[in-house]
Amino acid sequence: MKIQLSSLDVLRARTDCLVVAVREGTQQPPTTRKIEKASKGLIQSLIHSGDIDGRPGSVLLVPSPMGIQAKRLLLVGVGDKPDIDDFASTTLVAARQLCSTRSVSAVVALTEIAVTGADAGTRARMISQAIQEAGYRFSELKTTKGKETARRHCTVKRITLLSDSTKNDSAMRAGIQEACAIANGVALAKDLGNLPGNICTPNYLANQAKKLGNSHKLKIKVLDEAKMKALGMGALLSVSRGSREPARLIVMEHQGARRSDAPVVLVGKGITFDAGGISLKPAAAMDEMKYDMCGAATVIGAICAVAEMKLPINLNVVVPACENRPSSSATLPGDIVKSMSGQTIEILNTDAEGRLILCDALTYSERFNPKFIVDVATLTGACVVALGHIRTAIMSNNEDLSNNLMDAADKASDKAWKMPMGSEYDNQLKSNFADMANIGSGYGGSITAACFLGRFTKNMKWAHLDIAGTAWKSGAQKGSTGRPVPMLSEFILNQSKKNS
Over the window 409 to 438, marking each residue x when it contacts ligand BES by CB under 6 A and - when it does not, the resulting string is: ------------------------------
164 binds ligand BES, rule: CB under 6 A:
no
Active-site residue, selected from the candidate residues 34, 72, 125, 355: 355
Contact window for ligand BES (CB under 6 A) among 2-10, 166-174, 381-389, 476-484: 381-389
Shortest Cβ distance from residue 354 to Mn ion (Å)?
6
Binding-residue total with Zn ion (CB under 5 A): 4
Binding-residue total with ligand BES (CB under 6 A): 16
274 binds ligand BES, rule: CB under 6 A:
yes
Quick one: three-class SS letters along 59-113? EEEEECCCCCCCCEEEEEEEECCCEHHHHHHHHHHHHHHHHHCCCCEEEECHHHC
Selected binder of Mn ion within 253, 351, 360, 466 (CB under 5 A): 351
Residues 340-369 that bind Zn ion (CB under 5 A): 354
**How many Å apart are CA 427 and CA 422, to the nearest integer?**
9
Q: From Mn ion, Zn ion, ligand BES, none, which one binds at residue 179 (CB under 5 to 8 Å depending on kind)?
A: none
The residue among 380 and 457 lying less far from ligand BES, judged by its C-beta, is 380
User: CB neighbours (10 Å) of residue 168?
Assistant: 18
What is the maximum alpha-carbon separation in the chain?
A: 81
Selected binder of Mn ion within 133, 178, 245, 274 (CB under 5 A): 274
Shortest Cβ distance from residue 242 to Mn ion (Å)?
12
In the residue annotation, 281 being an active-site residue is answered as yes
354 binds ligand BES, rule: CB under 6 A:
yes
**DSSP, res 263:** P
DSSP codes of every residue in 331-375: PPTT-EEE-TTS-EEE-S-TT--HHHHHHHHHHHHGGG--SEEEE
**How many Å apart are CA 45 and CA 31, to the nearest integer?**
17
Strands of 256-335, DSSP E: 264-268, 270-274, 314-324
465 binds ligand BES, rule: CB under 6 A:
no
Instruction: Provide the 3-class DSSP secondary structure of residue 313.
Output: coil
The residue among 22 and 421 lying less far from ligand BES, judged by its C-beta, is 421
In the residue annotation, 355 being an active-site residue is answered as yes
**H-helix or E-strand containing 424?**
helix 423-426
353 binds ligand BES, rule: CB under 6 A:
yes
Q: From Mn ion, Zn ion, ligand BES, none, which one binds at residue 293 (CB under 5 to 8 Å depending on kind)?
A: none
Neighbour-count burial for 425-450, b at 16+ CB within 10 Å, e otherwise: bbebbebeebbbbbbbeeebbbbbbb
488 binds ligand BES, rule: CB under 6 A:
no
323 binds Mn ion, rule: CB under 5 A:
no
**DSSP, res 208:** H
The residue among 25 and 282 lying less far from ligand BES, judged by its C-beta, is 282
Nearest to residue 315, comparing CAs of 374, 249, 379, 263? 263
Selected binder of Zn ion within 133, 178, 225, 274 (CB under 5 A): 274
Selected binder of ligand BES within 100, 349, 431, 494 (CB under 6 A): 349
277 binds Zn ion, rule: CB under 5 A:
no
**How do beta strands 472-473 and 479-480 pair?**
antiparallel
Q: Are 320 and 361 in contact (CB under 8 A)?
A: yes
Instruction: Provide the 3-class DSSP secondary structure of residue 395.
Output: strand
Contact window for ligand BES (CB under 6 A) among 57-65, 90-98, 350-358, 487-495: 350-358
Give the binding site for ligand BES (CB under 6 A). Answer: 274, 292, 349, 351-354, 378-382, 384, 439, 445, 468
Active site residues: 281, 355
